[in-house]
Amino acid sequence: MKTQPLKGMRDLLPHEQALRDHIQAEILATYRAAGFQRISTPILEDLENLDKSDGGDNLNLIFKVLKRGDKLTSALQSGDATKLADMGLRYDLTLPLSRYYAANRASLPTPFKVIQTDRVYRAERPQKGRLREFVQCDIDILGDSSPNAEVELIDVTARALLRIGFTGFTVNINDRRILRAMLETMGFAADTLDSVCISFDKLDKIGADGVRDELTEKELPANAVASLYDFLQGGDFSLEAVASRCGDASLADDLRYVLSASEKVANGRYGIAYCPSLVRGQGYYTGMVFEIVCPQFSGAVAGGGRYDNMVGKFIGQQVPAVGFSIGFERVCGILLEQGYAIPGAKPRLALLYLPDADFADVLAKAERLRAGYDVTVLPQAKKLGKQFGTLEAAGYQAAAFADNDDIRQLGQKK
Amino acid sequence: MKTQPLKGMRDLLPHEQALRDHIQAEILATYRAAGFQRISTPILEDLENLDKSDGGDNLNLIFKVLKRGDKLTSALQSGDATKLADMGLRYDLTLPLSRYYAANRASLPTPFKVIQTDRVYRAERPQKGRLREFVQCDIDILGDSSPNAEVELIDVTARALLRIGFTGFTVNINDRRILRAMLETMGFAADTLDSVCISFDKLDKIGADGVRDELTEKELPANAVASLYDFLQGGDFSLEAVASRCGDASLADDLRYVLSASEKVANGRYGIAYCPSLVRGQGYYTGMVFEIVCPQFSGAVAGGGRYDNMVGKFIGQQVPAVGFSIGFERVCGILLEQGYAIPGAKPRLALLYLPDADFADVLAKAERLRAGYDVTVLPQAKKLGKQFGTLEAAGYQAAAFADNDDIRQLGQKK
């Protein structure tokens, strides 16, 4: 039998899990203090829901669950490979939340300020070194069309990162509506804009030439591609420069508001920046998009945006919605590298007992010691000095004994 | 698109999630204070590992994940339906833990006292009303062959339940080795005992006649079936009565020890009982098995046992192991029904703002109020009295205002 976890998935050692539990508790405490409420949804979703969810490239990365029993038999007999699966592992927490809101909205407040922190799955190629199972920490506001919702999500997410010791980060913000207006003015057809945006989002990675080449490959109109390439090479990426190419300068009002209010809220604790090339990969974003970048990591540590049409796909009635997701794996990876120490944990004590001890008495003594320590009961080794060394290496601060009242502090000689 | 979650899976509303998070934190705190360390493993496991895992009936309930890309194409061309899937969703946390210990044992202490609390999956028939996705809270001790490990797991699990307000429960204990010896003495062949035990475990549900019928259907020797049926109808199920049928009365020594030590540890706070019909469903248990039953629920709220051969399947070397798992869904279901109130939560306050408010100032005021409250910022409604009613119904204890210093306590008139 194979001892390693599946490719792209991870076993977490105790010290990694302890860090993650602490970080998650700190993030949750920030979210809860801001009046957000946690929910959860199943990891599996109906496969048709996932397929229709505007998830962009992620739709190609869905792990599908084989049908069972008679349904599998008929699917096999039909010879149609697309009918073999009926459920899929979610690739993010936004589609499940939209379905959840549609199903449960009668029991939920308006606006609904919601927390999700849970596992998601993407069948990335293992050689890319990307995880196939990872945790996202999301907050979303449903039922509020005001740009104050964006300002609040940015504030709360940034405070969560500050609380766990992140500093020096910047929140990049854009509005897809402005970008789309500019692109339409340049001559791209409305039904090609999603595709143009997905290429444009790669500006940081592939440069202006790469964007032009990718758009040309997609057989988009040459004059429009040339016009965008000209803009990209021009170098003035200010909001006013972009707004002036939109036809309607008032389109930038919401973004101007979010930038200036967020700047005031940030009050110098972190950066707020307009980023005209920002699109974020998901196809479902309809307006504002944002991400958090920090010097310690090359990609974004958080990303989000407004997705006003997603709930409507379920109930035929538009519900404004906006969300911000912390990439939990990235954040924990950075903190582990930095040697983050969990504050305020109780000291760990090993209560050692000899073979002739009354084990019920040992457990009772352990329970009394738990007022001041996390107490593990362990058989006492013959070579006590060696056992102290092993305990110290394993992170114990003290040892006590079932048969006397000594408490030995470990590691004091160092 | 479908708004309901998949059959047998659940959306959790905010109040349900809040209860679960609290209960889980209480259980984890009990486990951690006893020196257990949390880990986690992926939800997906290699399908061959799962298939070879001695999981009893659960092996028929595995959700399988379809292969992808070229591997799916070859599997389809082979015409062999068993080759379509390469991964499966875990049906419990014991197989993944055994694999984890095999892979990571060089980095882990001996004995390894470990916590897992996470989701597992079983493709139960939906009409049975059983969940297909649910959470288990497990503690295990690996690398300790002494029956003290059993005593400790029972103590710690029972204290976790007491801490969350469970009372009046009983820990039922048995040892499969005694049962197997008795059954062999009765004339069942060694290689049929797993099958006999699985039927015998159903004694509470189907009675002595049902056990006899099931064993007869399985075509087991009529004289052995008759001998067991005779014992079941005899009515003396004491440990000494069973031990006397084993050929070797010393086989009962470990169980006698665990029963008496656990009785002393329990000290009247909960019951300890010998249960000769107890087998627990899993095929991988090798010795002691136990479960916790309480008058509020017809099944067990926790179950576990010793599985000394599981890690050996991975590394070819036996590692003693024993675990105890709390059925988190059942526990939370019982507490929800009882109207369990989460103690010590901060009061919830809504900070209301008018359209002309400076939203950055609103957020700053919210942050100041968070010293004493969980604070949600919300637009102020035109009909303030109605809004107070809505807020109170949604669980808010107070309302404050962005433009003055009043704090209105909600629900005082009641």
Q: What is the pLDDT of residues B14-62, one digit of tens each?
A: 999 999 999 999 999 999 999 999 999 999 999 999 998 887 788 899 9
Closest CB to B133: pick one of A42, A108, A123: A42
Closest CA to B202 of B222, B232, B157: B232
Output A55 or B312, whichever has higher pLDDT.
Answer: B312
Contact flag A81-B81 (C-beta cutoff 8 Å): no
Q: Does B99 touch chain A (CB under 8 A)?
A: yes
CA distance B6 to B13: 16
Interface membership of B389 toward A (CB under 8 Å): no
Judge contact between A349 and A369, C-beta under 8 A. yes
Long-range contacts of B388-396 (CB under 8 A, 24+ apart): B390/A109, B391/B350, B394/A109, B395/B15, B395/B348, B396/B348, B396/B349, B396/B350
Can you tell me whether residue A333 is helix, strand or coil? helix
Measured in angstroms, the CA of B87 and the nearest CA of chain A are apart by: 8
Phi and psi at residue B38, to the nearest 5°: -80, 145
Total count of residues recorded for chain A: 414
pLDDT at B342: 87
Question: Quick check: pTM over 0.90?
Answer: yes
- Residue A64 has φ and ψ, to the nearest 5°, of -110, 140
What is the nearest CA distance from A242 to chain B, expressed in angstroms?
Answer: 26
N-terminal to C-terminal alpha carbon distance within chain A: 43
User: Taking 50 as the threshold, does the pLDDT of residue B414 lie above it?
Assistant: no
According to the model, what pLDDT value does residue A203 have?
82
pLDDT attached to residue B80: 86
Cα–Cα distances in angstroms (integers) from residue B377 to residues A354, B62, B389, B404, in the given order: 59, 45, 17, 14
Q: What distance, in Å, lies between the first and last C-alpha atoms of chain B?
A: 43
> Is A119 in contact with A133 (CB distance < 8 Å)?
yes
Binned at pLDDT 50, 70 and 90, residue B329 comes out as very high
Contact in structure between B211 and B228 (CB atoms under 8 Å): yes
Q: Looking at the predicted structure, is the pLDDT value of residue B413 above 60?
A: no
Residue A243 and residue A180 in contact, taking contact as beta carbons nearer than 8 Å: no
Nearest to B287 by CA among B263, B252, B316: B252
* pLDDT score for A295: 83
Q: CB distance from B213 to chain A under 8 Å?
A: no
Q: Check A39 against B87: CB less than 8 A apart.
A: no
| A-proximal residues of B, 348-377, CB under 8 Å | 348, 350, 359-360, 363-364, 366-367, 370, 374-377
How many CB atoms are closer than 10 A to CB B308? 17
Q: Torsions phi, psi of A226, nearest 5?
A: -65, -40
Is the N-terminal amide bond of A14 cis, ω within 30° of 0?
no
Amino acid present at A150: E
Chain B residue closest in CA terms to A348 = B35
Among all residues of chain B, which has the CA nearest to that of A123?
Answer: B68
Q: Which residues of A touch B2 (CB under 8 A)?
A: 46, 48-49, 99
pLDDT attached to residue A414 = 44
- Range A149-167 average pLDDT: 96
- State chain A's mean pLDDT as an integer: 92
pLDDT greater than 80 at residue B126 = no
Per-residue pLDDT, averaged over A251-264, amounts to 96
Q: Is B148 on the interface with A (CB under 8 A)?
A: yes
Q: What is the DSSP string of A50-102?
A: HHTS--GGGGGG--EEEP-HHHHHHHHHHT-GGGSEEEEE-SSSHHHHHHHHH
Tell me the nearest-neighbour CA distance from A203 into chain B, angstroms.
29
According to the model, what pLDDT value does residue B198 have?
81
What is the average pLDDT across A108-119? 96
CATH fold, domain A170-293, is BirA Bifunctional Protein; domain 2 (3.30.930)
Read off the DSSP letter of residue A345.
P
> Pick the residue with more confidence: B411 or B240?
B240
Binary contact (A65, B89; C-beta < 8 A): yes
Query: Does residue A413 register a pLDDT over 60?
Result: no
- Residue A406: how many CA atoms within 13 Å on its side-chain side? 9
* Closest C-alpha among A261, A48, A237 to residue A149: A261
Q: State pLDDT tens for residues A313-336.
A: 999 999 999 999 999 999 999 998
More confident site: A295 or A186: A186
Tell me the per-residue pLDDT of A40-69, one tens digit each, with 9 for 90 and over.
999 999 999 999 888 778 889 999 999 999
**How many Å apart are CA A39 and CA A55, to the nearest integer?**
22
Beta pairing class for A374-379 and A271-274: unpaired
Q: Which of A290, A299, A273 is nearest to A205 (CA)?
A: A299
Closest CA to B68 of A122, A407, A187: A122
- In A, minimum Cα distance to B29 occurs at A374
Q: Are B153 and B126 in contact (CB under 8 A)?
A: no
- Judge contact between A33 and A155, C-beta under 8 A: no
Rounded Cα distance, A106 and B281, in Å = 41
CA angle at residue B141 from A373 to B305, to 5 degrees? Answer: 130
Its CATH class, for the domain covering B1-43+90-166+294-345, is alpha beta
Mean pLDDT to the nearest integer, B181-197: 91
Residue of chain A whose Cα is closest to the Cα of B8: A42
How far apart CA B269 and CA B272 sit, in angstroms, is: 10
Token representation of residue B303: 């179950």
Enumerate residues 19 to 48 of chain A having a beta carbon within 8 A of any beta carbon in chain B.
21, 28, 32-46, 48
For B368, counting Cβ atoms within 10 Å of its Cβ (0-12 exposed, 13-18 middle, 19+ buried), the class is exposed
Domain layout of chain A by residue ranges: 170-293, 348-409
CA torsion, ordered B316, B319, B320, B323, to nearest 10 deg:
-100
- Least CB–CB distance from A103: residue in B11, B33, B155: B11
User: In this predicted structure, what is the pLDDT of residue A192?
Assistant: 92
Question: What tens digit of pLDDT does each residue of B210-263 get?
Answer: 999 999 999 999 999 999 999 998 878 899 989 988 888 889 999 999 999 999
Would the CA dihedral through B5, A321, A314, A105 be positive or negative? positive
- Label residues A102-115 b or e (16+ Cβ within 10 Å = b): bbbbeebbebbbbb
Q: Could you give phi then psi for residue B209, rounded to 5 degrees?
A: -60, -45
Cis before A111 (ω within 30): yes
Give the sheet arrangement for strand A85-89, strand by strand: A44-46, A85-89, A64-66, B64-66, B85-89, B44-46
Cβ pair B16, B336 in contact under 8 A: yes
Instruction: Tell me the C-alpha to C-alpha distance, in Å, between residue B183 and each of A38, A237, B210, B245.
Output: 51, 82, 17, 9
Give which of A1, A117, A262, A315 to mutate to test B binding, by max B Cβ within 10 Å.
A1
Separation in Å, CA A110 to CA A142, A200, A286, B25, B405: 7, 35, 21, 29, 25
Q: What is the 3-state secondary structure of chain B?
A: CCCCCCCCCCCECHHHHHHHHHHHHHHHHHHHHCCCEECECCCEEEHHHHHCCCCHHHHHHCCEEECCHHHHHHHHHHCCHHHCEEEEECCCCHHHHHHHHHHHHHHCCCCEEEEEEEEEECCCCHHHCCCCEEEEEEEEEECCCCCHHHHHHHHHHHHHHHHCCCCCCEEEEEEHHHHHHHHHHHCCCHHHHHHHHHHHCCHHHHHHHHHHHHHHHCCCCHHHHHHHHHHHHHCCCCHHHHHCCCCCHHHHHHHHHHHHHHHHHHCCCCEEEECCCCCCCCCCCCCEEEEEECCCCCCEEEEEEECCCHHHHHHCCCCCEEEEEEEHHHHHHHHHHCCCCCCCCCCEEEEEECCCCCHHHHHHHHHHHCCCCEEEEEECCCCHHHHHHHHHHCCCCEEEECCCCCEEECCCCC
To the nearest whole angstrom, how far is the Cα of A405 from the nearest Cα of chain B?
19
**Residues B81-107 as b or e (16 or more Cβ within 10 Å = b):** eeebbbbbbbbbbbbbbbbbbbbbbee
How does B250-266 read in b/e, with b if 16+ C-beta sit within 10 Å? ebbebbbbbbebbebbb
B123 in A contact zone (CB under 8 Å): yes
pLDDT tens digit string along A222-255? 999 999 999 998 878 899 989 988 888 889 999 9
Other CB atoms within a 10 A radius of the CB of residue B185 amount to: 14
pLDDT-derived band at B164, boundaries 50, 70, 90: very high
Q: What is the DSSP letter of A303?
A: E
> Pairing relation of β-strands B37-38 and A398-401?
unpaired
CB pairs under 8 A between A and B: 230
Task: Tally the residues of chain B.
Answer: 414
Quote the minimal CA–CA distance from B233 to chain A in Å: 36
Q: Are A80 and A95 in contact (CB under 8 A)?
A: no
